[in-house]
Structure 1
Amino acid sequence: MNTYAPHYEPAPVTTAELDWADLPTVDLSLASTVDGRVALSRIVEQAMQEHGFFYVTNHGLDADQNARIFDIADVAFSGVSPQDKETYVAKMKENGSYQGYKPRQYWHIDNGVRDQNEHYNVNRDITRREHPEAFRPFLPEVSAFTKYNHEQILHPLLRLFARVLGLPEETLVQLHNYEAVGETYVRFMKYYPRSEEEEQSTQQVWLKGHTDFGTVTILWSQPVTALQILSRDNVWRFVKHVPNALVINAGDALEFLSGGILKATIHRVVQPPPDQRGYTRLGVFYFAMTDDSVKLAPLIKRDGIQPRFTEENAPTMADWRTARTRAYGQSVLKKNEAEKGVEEEVINGVVVRHYN
């Protein structure tokens, strides 16, 4: 019998009229056959060209299982004391690892305003580090959830991405071994409402526009509307909540491995519409990365597309993730004089951009 967790009641779905991103949907139940994967890979290819994001439905977990993982996620915040959270703070700047807590106000957003979100990150190997006592009874369920995300969702998606690139289906799967050393993790994240003064100082931006540094991000859809993607026409559009669906995007490492064919997607988090303000925003993510030892050199080259790295100068996944983790929200960014609202830093010779 599962350990009791108080039910987390999410915000009602917004009724605001917003500019929504028209994202395509991948029905993952069709991925069990070759014909299904061929059809789905076409959807993925179009999605990556036009949006960089897509939905996944029929992933195998039902609405009750979905609600349960959000209840467990909230235990990490509402059920753990501030003192215990301090004990298990992640060594982000020291070790380049997110494992543990990221406290509120760790990242600088804009004009002296710091973030109002905290998250708790659990490596797919739950034994990598200790956990708060109040959270330990839920570790078997969290471990099962990470394995399900990795093998039943991530791996099928990697086969589709490989097809898009014209590579053998198992090429990317073989770089994402569940038992290997790496930082692939579940993230439970909770945003808290901010003051009106903070909203004005940051132009309602809660998290600057950025790309993820891993290969694939799996976001479990939740109703607070705050996620925006930078569409190909350079317009920020909201991602609509789809009950029990997943929102998928590519990160830097997949862009590097694909030789620039699959672009890491720029996205940000902003203040929700008026009818959802005052609610917390609880998120559940699976951030996938290759095994730490994998070099992020292009697996394929296409005429007219310049890859970020060559075989000779490509960093390993461990190098890239530690550098990005240490720098994010802590380094001094340089404004791009040619593009308004764009700030930059250089990591491993690559210009990393942040969009305000």
Structure 2
Amino acid sequence: MPAPTVPQILHYEPAPETTQTLDYADLAIIDLSKADTVEGRAQLAVQVRDAMSNQGFFYIVGHGYSPEQMKRMFDIADVPFSQVSDEEKQKYVAPTKQTGSYQGYKLRQYWHIDGGVRDQVENYNINRDVNKRTHPEALRPLLPEITQFARHSHQNVLNPVLRLMALGLELPEDTLVNLHGWDTRSETYVRFMKYYPRSAEDEEKTKNVWLKGHTDFGTVSILYSQPVAALQILARDGTWKWIKHIENAIVVNAGDAMEFLSGGFYRATIHRVVQPPPDQRQYTRLGIFYFCTADDDVRLAPLATSPLLQRVGFRRWFEKDEDAPLMVEWRKARTSAYGQTTLAKSTEEDRVEEEVINGVVVKHYN
């Protein structure tokens, strides 16, 4: 039987890797191909537990997508930016502030960064159920491939990671998987994201920061590695470490919702985006993400039945579990507020700004 044909689209040529010497974070590399056996999952669970509780970030290899498949996905990821007119983009802008949803376009200059400077990044967000809304004409022939990619990210990356994280908490391995259904109501989505070079004036006003240090609001964020160095994490010693590109690897981090569910054991790591090193500054930076949230009706209270949490102790953000926000409440509040609110200077930490969302202090690191 002949192989199915796919629509022809323009190739996106990524930037060459930087030759600059950067202070990279030393992150664990998890080979998911070893998760097929009970013994393999037990070994990987320890690695994931240590990585998530200490750094909140790790790499994944052995995830089942070939380099050729990833190149095709990056070609697809560029379509909503290079093959859709500005006029058509306006028809698909997400009403983010009104609805607390990113579905559709986030165009440039929507987020305030610092010093009166607004962002130079576009993103296009597609719910894992691509039929939830209509899409620009150039993307429509590509929706079957995007659906397949979302399903792969969910079933072959997210679910194995959630099983390993549950085992790390000494819970039944499907505990977290059962909170992240494929057919349930949630905001888990594919994001295509493109950063554009900024002016020297904007770089000076923001001290070269493109997105302030922040945590993600969901449970697990899945980033398919790309070569332009710009992502940094805040290490426990207070320094910013670069995330190194590994060809055909995935970078995974925990978000607020996972920190709530794990009672603070799995840290929502603070990360930011900065100007790339000099040899990459003339290139655009194209990213592919799978941002995951628990089902909308999941209450973000600690999984207190965890034997590990009972031994080591855990944090409660709310005195009563019933006072903890539902996932839908947290994601809508965080999404609506991001880059749109006036932040207050922290009275306790230098270079930190704060806002209160659903009774929780959310910090932004400048």
Q: Aligning the two structures, in what range does the TM-score lie when normalised by the shorter sequence? A: over 0.9
Show the counterpart of 1:56: 60
Show the counterpart of 1:329: 339
Do residues 20 (structure 1) and 24 (structure 2) align?
A: yes
Structure 2 distance, partners of 1:16, 1:337, is: 37
Describe how 1:276-315 pairs up with structure 2 within 5 A.
Answer: 276-300=280-304, 301-302=309-310, 303-309=312-318, 310-315=320-325
Describe how 1:145-160 pairs up with structure 2 within 5 A.
Answer: 145-160=149-164
| Secondary structure of residue in 2 paired with 1:49 | helix
RMSD of equivalent CA atoms: 0.9
Which of 73, 77, 80 lines up with 1:76 in the alignment? 80
Query: CA contact under 8 A between 2:53 and 2:265: conserved in structure 1?
Result: no
Which of 166, 169, 172 lines up with 1:168 in the alignment? 172
Structure 1 residue runs of 4 or more that deviate by more than 6 Å after TM superposition: none
Deviations 1:85-140 (A, max 9, x none): 11000010010000000010000000000000000000001111110111111000
| Secondary structure of residue in 1 paired with 2:134 | coil
Structure 1 distance, partners of 2:50, 2:297, is: 31
Describe how 1:136-215 pairs up with structure 2 within 5 A.
Answer: 136-215=140-219
| Secondary structure of residue in 1 paired with 2:72 | helix
Describe how 1:239-250 pairs up with structure 2 within 5 A.
Answer: 239-250=243-254
Structure 2 distance, partners of 1:105, 1:183, is: 23
| Secondary structure of residue in 2 paired with 1:145 | helix
Structure 1 distance, partners of 2:7, 2:185, is: 29
Structure 1 residue 42: Cα displacement: 1.0
Q: Which runs of 5+ in 1 are unaligned?
A: none
Farther off after superposition, 312-321 or 299-308: 299-308
Which of 272, 277, 283 lines up with 1:273 in the alignment? 277
Deviations 1:240-295 (A, max 9, x none): 00000000000001111111111111000000000000100000000001111111
Which of 300, 303, 316 lines up with 2:326 in the alignment? 316
| Secondary structure of residue in 1 paired with 2:286 | strand
Structure 2 distance, partners of 1:4, 1:341, is: 48
Structure 1 residue 304: Cα displacement: 4.1
Do residues 117 (structure 1) and 121 (structure 2) align?
A: yes
Deviations 1:57-77 (A, max 9, x none): 010000000000000000010
Structure 1 residue 50: Cα displacement: 2.6
The two structures have a TM-score, normalised by structure 2, of 0.96
| Secondary structure of residue in 2 paired with 1:312 | helix
Structure 2 distance, partners of 1:14, 1:231, is: 22
| Secondary structure of residue in 1 paired with 2:323 | coil
Farther off after superposition, 168-177 or 309-318: 309-318
Query: CA contact under 8 A between 2:231 and 2:272: conserved in structure 1?
Result: yes
| Secondary structure of residue in 1 paired with 2:322 | coil
Deviations 1:20-79 (A, max 9, x none): 001010000000101001110111112123321000001000000000000000001000
Q: Which runs of 5+ in 2 are unaligned?
A: none
Show the counterpart of 2:133: 129
Which of 226, 229, 236 lines up with 2:230 in the alignment? 226
Which of 70, 87, 93 lines up with 1:66 in the alignment? 70
Query: CA contact under 8 A between 1:256 and 1:308: conserved in structure 2?
Result: yes
Letter in structure 1 aligned against 2:134: E
Structure 2 distance, partners of 1:264, 1:287, is: 14
Query: CA contact under 8 A between 1:14 and 1:276: conserved in structure 2?
Result: yes
| Number of equivalent positions | 356
Query: CA contact under 8 A between 1:116 and 1:193: conserved in structure 2?
Result: yes
Which of 28, 34, 39 lines up with 1:35 in the alignment? 39
| Secondary structure of residue in 2 paired with 1:208 | strand
The two structures have a TM-score, normalised by structure 1, of 0.99
Structure 1 distance, partners of 2:348, 2:293, is: 33
Query: CA contact under 8 A between 2:54 and 2:267: conserved in structure 1?
Result: no
Query: CA contact under 8 A between 1:18 and 1:238: conserved in structure 2?
Result: yes
